[in-house]
């Protein structure tokens, strides 16, 4: 996985603002990131994008990445296709489950700012 560069002293990670739940079925990994506090939701939406997820996992995620907003529970659901090396019974990866991939998302840096993808001006 990529994105192991050290962060600045004032940079937060997704782990600082969200909880994670994840699962897998076949070669698809689904991860839910739930904001710890309502005021963290915008930063979560800004920081967890298909591009950021692909940048973190590199060639581990071979298929499409979709990030779905869940405004009613202040969460982002990430669905990664082709993410588990063919699935639990086919992969040669040591730790191939959705749980390990889900927890790795907590390493993403939080993008501070005011606008999240999909916001209207």
Tokens read off for 114: 């005011």
Q: Which domains does the chain have, with CATH numbers?
A: 14-84+91-107 (3.30.70)
Q: Which residues contact 103 (CB under 8 A, 6 or more apart)?
A: 20, 22
- The tokens describing 25, both together, are 């079925």
How far is 10 from 7, CA to CA, in rounded Å? 8
Inter-residue contact 13 to 106 (CB < 8 Å): yes
pLDDT beyond 70 at 20: yes
Residue 96 reports pLDDT greater than 90:
no
pLDDT of residue 59: 87
CA–CA distances in Å: residue 103 to residues 36, 63, 117: 15, 19, 23
- Least confident segment among 16-20, 63-67, 109-113: 109-113
What is the reported pLDDT for 4? 53
The reported pLDDT for the residue numbered 26 is 79
DSSP state of 90: T
Q: How far is CA 84 from CA 51, 63, 104, in A?
A: 18, 10, 13
pLDDT tens for residues 42-73? 999 999 999 999 999 998 889 999 999 999 99
Bridge partners, residue 69, by sequence: 76
Residue 119's CB: how many other CB atoms inside 10 A?
A: 10
3-class secondary structure, 38: helix
Q: What is the pLDDT of residue 104?
A: 87
pLDDT at 89 over 90: no
Over 70: is that where the pLDDT of 9 sits? no
Confidence of residue 118 (pLDDT cuts 50, 70, 90): low
Mean pLDDT, all residues of the chain: 83
Question: What's the pTM value of the predicted model, to 2 decimals?
Answer: 0.81
């Amino acid at each position: 996985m990529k994105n192991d560069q050290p962060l600045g002293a004032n940079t937060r990670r997704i782990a600082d603002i969200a909880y994670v739940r994840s699962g897998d079925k076949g070669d698809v990994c689904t991860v839910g990131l739930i904001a710890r506090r309502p005021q963290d939701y915008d930063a979560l939406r800004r920081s967890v994008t298909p591009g950021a997820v692909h940048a973190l996992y590199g060639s581990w995620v071979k298929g499409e990445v979709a990030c779905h907003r869940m405004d009613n529970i202040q969460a982002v659901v990430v669905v990664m296709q082709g993410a588990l090396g063919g699935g639990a019974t086919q992969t040669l990866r040591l730790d191939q489950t959705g749980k390990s991939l889900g927890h790795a998302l907590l390493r993403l840096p939080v993008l501070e700012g005011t606008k999240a993808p999909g916001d209207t001006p």
